[in-house]
Chains A and B, each alone.
Chain A
Amino acid sequence: MQASHDTHDHAHGDHGDHAHHGRAPGLMGWFTTTNHKDIGTMYLWFSFVMFLVGGAMSLVIRGELFAPGLQYVSPEFYNQMLTLHALIMVFGAIMPAFVGFANWMIPMMVGAPDMAFARMNNWSFWLLPPAAILLTGSLFVPGGAAGTGWTLYPPLSVQMGLGMDMAIFAVHILGMSSIMGSINIITTILNMRAPGMTLMRMPMFCWTWLVTAFLLIASMPILAGAVTMLLTDRHFGTSFFNAAGGGDPVLFQHIFWFFGHPEVYIIALPAFGVVSHVIPAFSRKHLFGYTSMVYAIAAIGLISFFVWAHHMYVTGIPLTGQLYFMYATLLIAVPTGVKVFNWITTMWRGELTFETPMLFALGFLFLFTVGGLTGLVLAITAVDIQLQDTYYVVAHFHYVMVAGALFSAYAGAYFWLPKWTGRMYDEALGKVHFWTSIVFFNVAFFPQHFLGLAGMPRRIPDYATQFTDFNAVSSIGAFGFGFSQLIFLWVVLKNIKGGEAAPVKPWDGATGLEWTLPSPVPYHTFEDPPVITEEHLAAAH
């Protein structure tokens, strides 16, 4: 409790300066704020808005696929929808959501007053809206948005119109933002920890973000390089990927996936981190196997750079290459299995209760494992050649991205919301949100496994009539899932307006420095670093 005393003293203490007590009034305050909590809030709201935009696009896709034949949109527009849906969800919703969590929580978890570079933190966020405008605005330029799929493969991406250039610039801007954000996170974690907060005492969320930030710094510039080469191929006569000029379109796939596979873990690792806080809290036990968790995260991060061509089994890579990438990919199941084992063992003989954060964490645990399992199926070359570019792949990565990353983000949001706003959210509504989400999610995506196994190709607005029933079911699930997400908006708005005051530690099993701070957390925390002692922070693990 010592830490919270410090904070109180500070809020009213020895700083005469007004700026200490809050951001500048009005909208300008949000533009200029360098406070990690303000910036975290902006990241979270931004990601939720983008989530709704990207979700609306997915409903255009599912609407069109409700029945065979072309109903509502042209094939070109359909392609633009699926491309923007993916780019917006990956770069606009999921990634910024976890950066939002990082901004809010990491300084509080390690006992730092703010992020290491507060001004740069502000820039990282304010780069996002222009990128979002470029992406969505590209729908309205001649020729429409990029329609290549999020993978932006040439030759198509070399041939498309202005929308493609806008997508490329958006990727550049988003890359800049992530790199600056990552530099901030790593510096904060490495250099701003309170005395006594050793690396191996650090909360798991910080560990996952430390590895994630390294992955981002190493892989985002590679994507930036690849799209820059696309750009010069398009406009400046280079031939990196242009077959006619001596280039090679397959090379783009190599470079793209050298970024693209680590990207999967950039999204997954922070999700693992959040779940590693929620499951112990509601099991009233410490996280099982803290050290093995840390090594598993590092192993996953490292191996993720050596498996990229499992996305390219049908490009004609040699058999030895296929075998290598198959075994290397299967190897990732080992550290991931360690994590799943540890989460389950954490719950073993725990005193479990099932509040909304725990429900989402359990939903994550079940469904992420399903997604991981289908990932192993797809890793097997012989199977993948059959399933490549079918709905099986779509089902697989939505289990990982939605039931994995998104559910984990919800778990985190419900978990820390009382700390952020100082009020308890509506538990009943939260549970409704969870149950509608998990039911409709499975209605939407489980049938897609069967569609894929039966051979339905992805990224095509029409399909053979034998796929009709499962597609109709899937579309109903998708609309149900989409509208269920508005419940979350309702919960949050209701929570902001009012509600029962949250205690300092609303979850009796929760551990960590953030739960020593008052609810809502004061604008400035840990201006004088707390000294972390062993009992004060059994916390971390």
Chain B
Amino acid sequence: MMTAIPVTNYRIASGLGLVAIASFLFAYIQPPLYRAFCEWTGIYDVQKADEFRASATVGRPITMEFDANTHGTGLRFTALQTSLPMHTGELVQVNFRVENLSNHSITGQAVPSYGPKHAANFVKKLDCFCFRQQVFAPGEVRVMPVVFALDRNLPSDIGTVTLSYTFFEVPGGVGSSNNTGSAANGASTSGSGI
């Protein structure tokens, strides 16, 4: 029954095999392509300072709440202020405190999230410790600021905005090969809801 398989069959099969290998590799070029696409389209903007033009008067009153937590790191991370009455259009600074409880240095990256989710576009950060990775020496205690304002166009159904940060430990630390200082961009891509 096993008559010789014609050469042309092998030619077709090896072509198809190459297609299969190419599509396997196609999956692997997605991470860099995806990053490039997000940067090009500006979706990846959570680690850049926002633009905000201050003016003499402020807008409506609003309550801002702050939350801090960590994800599997040896850090203790707290918000020094948990609630702040403020106004839209007003530039404020709040501080967060980090303590490295471990006996080795830890590289961490804070990732913001917002409640309600669609408030994200209206929180304008001029400076934030979350813009870059932070290295904490063993036992170090550091207080870090966030400078931000709420856009005056914040939808009127929002009375309270919660800003929450999660500190992730960056495997390998600053400068290791598999990160380029852009930890957790994706998590916030969805968080910042476009």
A: residues with CB less than 8 A from B are 17, 19-20, 34-35, 113-114, 116-119, 179, 182-183, 186-187, 190-192, 217-226, 228-229, 237-240, 242-251, 254-255, 315-319, 524
B168 near A244: Cβ-Cβ < 8 Å: yes
- Assuming the contacts A217-B20, A244-B109, A245-B171, asked whether A254 and B8 have C-beta atoms less than 8 A apart, the reply is no
Interface centre among B5, B72, B186 (most CB of A within 10 A): B186
Report the minimum CB–CB distance from A527 to chain B (whole Å).
Answer: 8
A117 near B187: Cβ-Cβ < 8 Å: no
User: Of the candidates B9, B12, B169, which one forms a contact with A244 in the assembled complex, judged by CB atoms under 8 Å apart?
Assistant: B169
User: Of the candidates A19, A239, A247, which one forms a contact with B1 in the assembled complex, judged by CB atoms under 8 Å apart?
Assistant: A19
Interface string of B100-139 (1 = CB under 8 A from A): 0000000001010000000000000000000000000000
Interface string of B53-77 (1 = CB under 8 A from A): 0000000000000000001100000
Q: Which residue of B lies closest to A314 (CB)?
A: B190
B17 near A244: Cβ-Cβ < 8 Å: no
Q: Which residue of A lies closest to B35 (CB)?
A: A248
Report the minimum CB–CB distance from A126 to chain B (whole Å).
Answer: 17
User: Of the candidates A191, A246, A254, A255, which one forms a contact with B179 in the assembled complex, judged by CB atoms under 8 Å apart?
Assistant: A246
Q: Which residues of B are found within 8 Å of A221, using beta-carbon distances?
A: 20-24, 26-27
Q: Which residue of B lies closest to A256 (CB)?
A: B27
A245 near B19: Cβ-Cβ < 8 Å: no
- Assuming the contacts A186-B16, A318-B194, asked whether A250 and B170 have C-beta atoms less than 8 A apart, the reply is no
- Assuming the contacts A19-B1, A117-B9, A524-B1, asked whether A222 and B185 have C-beta atoms less than 8 A apart, the reply is no
- Assuming the contacts A116-B13, A186-B16, A244-B109, asked whether A251 and B171 have C-beta atoms less than 8 A apart, the reply is no
Report the minimum CB–CB distance from B9 to chain A (whole Å).
Answer: 5
Report the minimum CB–CB distance from A117 to chain B (whole Å).
Answer: 7
Report the minimum CB–CB distance from B182 to chain A (whole Å).
Answer: 5
Q: Which residues of A are found within 8 Å of B185, using beta-carbon distances?
A: 246, 248
Q: Which residues of B are found within 8 Å of A247, using beta-carbon distances?
A: 31, 186
B3 near A113: Cβ-Cβ < 8 Å: yes
A186 near B12: Cβ-Cβ < 8 Å: yes
Report the minimum CB–CB distance from A103 to chain B (whole Å).
Answer: 15
A315 near B190: Cβ-Cβ < 8 Å: yes
B163 contacts A by Cβ under 8 Å: no
Q: Which residue of A lies closest to B108 (CB)?
A: A244
Interface centre among B19, B20, B183, B189 (most CB of A within 10 A): B20
B6 contacts A by Cβ under 8 Å: yes
A116 near B183: Cβ-Cβ < 8 Å: no
A229 near B27: Cβ-Cβ < 8 Å: yes
Report the minimum CB–CB distance from B19 to chain A (whole Å).
Answer: 5
- Assuming the contacts A243-B183, A246-B170, asked whether A222 and B9 have C-beta atoms less than 8 A apart, the reply is no
Q: Which residues of B are found within 8 Å of A191, using beta-carbon distances?
A: 6, 8-9, 12
Q: Which residues of B are found within 8 Å of A317, using beta-carbon distances?
A: 194
B192 contacts A by Cβ under 8 Å: yes
User: Of the candidates A113, A192, A217, A254, which one forms a contact with B30 in the assembled complex, judged by CB atoms under 8 Å apart?
Assistant: A254
Report the minimum CB–CB distance from B26 to chain A (whole Å).
Answer: 6
B34 contacts A by Cβ under 8 Å: yes
**Pairs A-B, 3 closest by C-beta atoms:** A248-B186, A225-B27, A244-B168
- Bound form: Cα–Cα A307–B167 in Å: 35
- Bound form: Cα–Cα A255–B28 in Å: 10
Q: Which residue of A lies closest to B21 (CB)?
A: A221
B41 contacts A by Cβ under 8 Å: yes
Known: A218-B23, A248-B184. 7 other contacts (CB 8 A): A217-B19, A220-B20, A221-B21, A224-B27, A229-B31, A243-B184, A251-B186
B34 near A117: Cβ-Cβ < 8 Å: no
- Bound form: Cα–Cα A240–B31 in Å: 7
B178 near A239: Cβ-Cβ < 8 Å: yes
- Bound form: Cα–Cα A246–B21 in Å: 26
Q: Which residues of A are found within 8 Å of B187, using beta-carbon distances?
A: 243, 248-249
Q: Which residue of B lies closest to A114 (CB)?
A: B1
Q: Which residue of B lies closest to A240 (CB)?
A: B31
Q: Which residues of B are found within 8 Å of A237, using beta-carbon distances?
A: 171-172, 178
User: Of the candidates A182, A223, A246, A250, which one forms a contact with B182 in the assembled complex, judged by CB atoms under 8 Å apart?
Assistant: A246
B89 contacts A by Cβ under 8 Å: no
A183 near B186: Cβ-Cβ < 8 Å: no
- Bound form: Cα–Cα A319–B194 in Å: 7
Q: Which residue of B lies closest to A154 (CB)?
A: B186
The contact sample of 30 A-B pairs, CB cut-off 8 A, is A17-B1, A114-B1, A116-B5, A116-B12, A117-B9, A183-B16, A186-B16, A217-B16, A220-B20, A220-B23, A221-B23, A225-B26, A238-B178, A239-B179, A244-B72, A244-B170, A245-B179, A246-B170, A246-B181, A246-B183, A248-B184, A248-B186, A249-B186, A250-B186, A315-B190, A316-B189, A316-B192, A318-B41, A319-B194, A524-B1
